[in-house]
Amino acid sequence: MEKYKVKLEEEKKLLEEELAAIGKEDAETGDWEATPESEVKAQDVEDEADMAERAEDYEERSSTLNALETRLNDIKKALGKIEEGTYGLCEVCGTKIEEERLDVNPSAKTCEADMEKVV
Ligand SMILES: [Zn+2]
């Protein structure tokens, strides 16, 4: 169990660093937002093409950020389960999740048979 906790804590730290590089955390809700262009480089928006390109970058940052945030939430949830003593149990059928599965993905929520059932 301890090894998964260490893995999860490490991954959490990495994810938070990645998130901090492209966005910021809302102190109240704990939600992450991609850094708006205006705050990245407010000064040198020169023409419309430039602005379009920047908007695209923002979209890209947002979707990367959302993916990272989802992953971070899974990890936080898994860490919470370690505290509660329910870590490693399938959310669908309640049996133990295969150890090989947790080795690959310590924040797995279901056993192998149920993995399709949880989105
Ligand atoms: Zn299951």
- Domain coordinates in residue numbering, the chain: 2-86, 88-119
If you average pLDDT over residues 75-88, what whole number do you get?
A: 96
Counting residues of the chain whose pLDDT is more than 90, the rounded percentage is: 69
CA of 22 to the centre of ligand 1 (A): 36
Q: Do residues 101 and 2 make contact, with C-beta atoms less than 8 angstroms apart?
A: no
pLDDT (tens digit, 9 = 90+) per residue, 34-49? 988 766 554 555 666 6
The pTM score is: 0.79
Task: Tell me the C-alpha to C-alpha distance, in Å, between residue 13 and each of 16, 36, 116, 118.
Answer: 5, 23, 28, 25
CA of 92 to the centre of ligand 1 (A): 5
- What is the enclosing helix (H) or strand (E) of 23? strand 23-25
**2 or 51, which is more confident:** 2
**DSSP code of residue 87:** T
Ion ligand 1, residues whose Cβ is below 5 A away: 90, 92-93, 111, 114
